[in-house]
Amino acid sequence: MFRLAGIIIGAITGGLGGAVLGYIIGMVVDSLLRPTVKVHTRVYNRQDFTESLLILSSAVIKADGHFKRSELYYLRDFLMNALGPSRTEDALHRLQEIMKNDYNIQSVCATLRTESSIHERLLIVQYLFGLANADGFLHPDEISMIRNISMWMGVAPGDYESIKHMFMGSTSGQAGGGYRSSGYTSKAEELSNDYKILEISQDATDDEVKKAYRALAKKHHPDRVAHLGEEMRKAAEEKFARLSQAYDNIRKARGMK
């Protein structure tokens, strides 16, 4: 498997190919992978962060028992954006070694919990869902692994569910609990996901809808990651826009002003 992966890696050329979440997390890594970065008054080591991210990626890739070409493409795209060609090659070789071993994922997450901000951890969860969904199918074991990683990193259940449903807006349920990209989502399904993105039930009052949106808009506002650079801010604006879209859909469906 790894020999085949090496052949594929050597054959791949080109840019990001539309990996939007790869771009997002790439900006996080690009900002964090400087010689040293002060986070919560502690020195953040770029090599340790790369190692942690590769271990988490490996855990999600192995969750469903298959290492798929689409996942390799997705991972390579974001590494290229974050690290550049030479370091990407080193990181992919390191990933091959990581894939052969078992790691204490909970311990890795505990380190990220103390060494990174909640805003950065939320983007990591987004990246992992993008990786899992690279083949157009969210396997139940992949979802379970990301849920555990999210919990171990200290991400609130509501935040995890909100991010998950950002990906499920264009998927349909499958036997066994997985979700496959369907290419079509009914208005009812889309609206149901919008409520989940805002972390509220469909019987919430108009005031509760407004309150939920204001709270999430504050939490996910691009200014929260402005210190990571203008490109990171632009990426965060995409996430913020999805929250706003969910709110607008609900507001229009209810006839709210």
What pLDDT shows up at residue 179?
A: 52
- 44/80: higher pLDDT: 80
* 82-86: long-range pairs with CB below 8 Å, 24+: 82/25, 82/26, 82/27, 82/29, 82/30, 82/33, 83/29, 83/33, 83/50
What is residue 157's predicted lDDT score, i.e. its pLDDT? 92
Same domain? For 65 and 192 the reply is no
So what's the pLDDT on residue 207? 93
Domain boundary (169, 198, 232) is at: 169
Indicate if 206 and 164 belong to the same structural domain: no
- Min mean pLDDT across 28-37, 120-129, 205-214, 215-224 is at 28-37
- Once rounded to an integer, what is the mean pLDDT over residues 226-233? 57
Say yes or no: 79 and 136 in one domain. Answer: yes
Domain of 256 in residue numbering reads as: 186-257
pLDDT at residue 227, rounded to an integer:
61
- Residue pLDDT, tens place only, 150-191: 999 999 998 898 888 877 754 444 434 455 554 445 778 788
| Cα 210 from chain centre | 26
pLDDT-derived band at 28, boundaries 50, 70, 90: very low
Tell whether 123 and 32 lie within a shared domain: yes
CA distances from 23 to 54, 121, 172, 216, 235 (A): 16, 15, 25, 22, 8
- pLDDT at position 4: 31
Label residue 148 by pLDDT band (50, 70, 90): very high
User: 69 and 6: one domain?
Assistant: yes
Is residue 94 domain-resident? Answer: yes
Domain end: 143, 169, 195, which one?
169
Residues 23 and 126 in one domain: yes
238-253 average pLDDT score: 87
How would residue 21 be classed by pLDDT, with cut points 50, 70 and 90? very low
Residue 174 is assigned to a structural domain of this protein: no
Compute the half-sphere exposure of residue 250: CA atoms within 13 Å on the CB side of its CA: 27
Same-domain status, 160 and 237: no
Per-residue pLDDT band for 18 (boundaries 50, 70, 90) equals very low
Q: 0.85 cut: is pTM over it?
A: no
Same domain membership, residue 129 and residue 46: yes
Total domain count for the chain? 2
Instruction: Tell me how crowded residue 219 is: count the other CB atoms within 10 A of its CB.
Output: 16
Residue 57 pLDDT exceeds 80: yes
In a shared domain, residues 46 and 132:
yes
- Rounded to an integer, the average pLDDT of 99-121 is 90
Asked if residue 21 belongs to a domain, the reply is yes
Mean pLDDT highest for which of 10-19, 226-235, 239-248?
Answer: 239-248
**What is the percent of the chain with per-residue pLDDT over 70, rounded to a whole number?**
69
Q: Please tell me whether residues 141 and 37 are part of one structural domain.
A: yes
Average pLDDT, the chain: 75
Answer whether residue 127 is part of any domain.
Answer: yes
Same domain membership, residue 202 and residue 98:
no
The more confident residue out of 10 and 255 is 255
pLDDT at 181: 52
Least confident of 37-41, 115-119, 177-181: 37-41
The letter for the amino acid at 117 is S
Do both 91 and 192 map to the same domain? no
- Position 165 in a domain: yes
Q: What is the pLDDT of residue 14?
A: 35
| Cα–Cα distance measured from residue 117 to residue 38, given in angstroms and rounded to the nearest whole number | 11
